[in-house]
Amino acid sequence: MKTYTTRNEAIQDIIVNSINAGEANATEYDIDAIAEQVIDSDVIDGEYVFFQKVDEDTFWTIVENNIR
C-alpha cells in the first residue's frame, strides 16, 4: 500500500494524476467528492498517513459518477 504524508499529496497522486493520465482532464470532475470516497487515513508506525481505500475498479466507478 502506497502512503502519503498529506491529504493533498494523496489527492494529487491518486486522483488527479490518474485522471489526467488518460484522455480526461481532472478539472472536469468533482475531486473533493472523489477524495471523500477513495482516500482514508490512519496512523501507521506512529505516523499519520493517507492512502487509497478502494480497489481500482471501484475507484474508476467513483470517478465516473463524479463528472461535473
- Domain residue ranges of the chain, discontinuous segments joined by +: 7-64
Q: Which string of b and e fits 21-57 if b means at least 16 CB within 10 Å?
A: eeeeebeebebeebbebbbeeeeeeeeebbbbeeeee
Mean pLDDT value of segment 13-22: 96
42 vs 5: CA distance, rounded Å: 11
Structure-model confidence comparison of residues 1 and 8, the more confident one = 8
For residues 34-52, average pLDDT: 97
Percentage of the residues of the chain whose pLDDT score is greater than 90 = 96
pTM: 0.93
Q: What is the pLDDT of residue 1?
A: 87
Task: Spell out the residues 6+ positions from residue 16 whose beta carbon is closer than 8 angstroms to its own.
Answer: 26, 31
